[in-house]
Amino acid sequence: MQRPECMRRHLSSVIFLLIFLLLISIPGLMTLFKMYTGKELDRQLNGHFDPVEAPVLNKNSILNKSFQHDFEDYFHNSFTGRGYLITTYNQIRHSLFGENSQSCMGDSLIYEPYIIMHLGVYPYDYSTPERLAEMEVYVNKLESISNMLKEQGKSLIVVSASGKAAWFEEDIPGRYFLMPHGLGVSDCLNNVIAERDILYLDCNSYIKGIDFPYPVFYKSSHHWSRTAEIEIENAIFDIINSRTPFSVETYDVTAAIESDVPIDRDADTWALMNLWFPTNETYYTYDININTVSESTNICIQGDSFSELISRDLVQNGHNGIVSNISYDNVYYVNGERVTLLEHDFSILNMNELVNENDIFIILYTDYNLPSYGVGFVDALYNCLCDAAGGI
């Protein structure tokens, strides 16, 4: 006769085995349920996932041994229950070990490259002669573009902003401050461009100068808050109205709206982590009145993802004129509609037509993307204007 203690151990082992078998059976059972009922019992994951087609079972796929590998890849990416398992795994990693699928640093979700660029960690220390020389070449080119556009009655505005790391320095792990570091790329640009005749907006200095009461960034996103975006847009409008021959609309803030739910891109990074628990931040946006103008002004904005939303706001708020947006060197939009895929090649874009159609050019980058020096757009615009001026 078995002792009670042995029976308890045996029963515990049986229960553990049953739970284990149930867990590993759930994906297959849920997949069969979907096949027979057509109903999806899964959690939708955020992010982009390349579709994986079901492999074809035939003589060739068996003989060349590709079917098994392809079927494993297909099942891994399509079985029902995958969303639940991935979300649970991600939540355990984040809650217990501070790890996540976005490779961010700590609870403030700061990408490591943003930290390196902000602190000027080698090799991105812009106090070195080599890096300073690169920046001077870039800014000299911007100044030449500005001058050539002025001769045509047009204007260039350069906008820059430090990324999230600049606003969450207290959350940057101490090891980064121990690394060899010096001058960040934004500070270098500020120093060099101050000596040039260029319309320039340093977003960080501007936001700090107006005693901004709301978060510039949220822990849950790498993009500006909506309130900060609207303040920056108004600052750009003020430059246009006061320092160029053109007039554009402005915004009057009538109220600040508080929300427990993320607004627009306020939690896009958090969403990509695919966790069970939502954020616990308070989010804000503005109610605005738009002061329209009768003058039509065509604006071309080129830059990183921060430029995309400013372009979108202009279109949605009824800007009087054409709004063109060139996202990095990837896509060319006009009034929010995609016109051309650039595929990293500005020769696809008719630069002469772009210059002729637009009155104002805005180039906007955050520090993480500044070292790309316009990803080819500045060079393409410079070459186009030089050709039009007779090869200056």
Q: What is the mean pLDDT of the chain?
A: 89
Do 115 and 67 form a contact (C-beta atoms < 8 A)?
A: no
Averaged pLDDT, 1-15: 64
* Residue 134: both structure tokens together: 């690169």
Q: What is the pTM of this model?
A: 0.85
Averaged pLDDT, 165-188: 93
The separation between CA 108 and the C-alpha centre of its own chain, rounded to angstroms, equals 16
Q: What is the pLDDT of residues 71-129, one digit of tens each?
A: 777 766 676 778 888 888 888 888 888 777 777 877 789 999 999 999 999 999 999 99
Q: What is the pLDDT of residues 20-43, one digit of tens each?
A: 666 667 666 666 666 667 666 777
Tokens 């059972």, located at residue? 29
For residue 61, pLDDT beyond 80: no
Strands (E), the chain: 104-105, 110-111, 155-161, 199-202, 250-259, 283-291, 299-303, 323-327, 331-334, 337-341, 360-366
Q: What is the pLDDT of residues 280-321, one digit of tens each?
A: 999 999 999 999 999 999 999 999 999 998 999 999 999 999
**Total length of the chain:** 392
Q: For the chain, which residues make up each domain, given as ranges? A: 1-30, 124-388
Q: What is the pLDDT of residues 187-220, one digit of tens each?
A: 999 999 999 999 999 999 999 999 899 999 999 9
Task: Give the per-residue pLDDT at 86.
Answer: 83
Q: What is the pLDDT of residues 118-167, one digit of tens each?
A: 999 999 999 999 999 999 999 999 999 999 999 999 999 999 988 899 99
Task: Give the per-residue pLDDT at 57.
Answer: 76
Indicate the helix (H) or strand (E) that contains 334: strand 331-334
Task: Give the per-residue pLDDT at 54.
Answer: 75
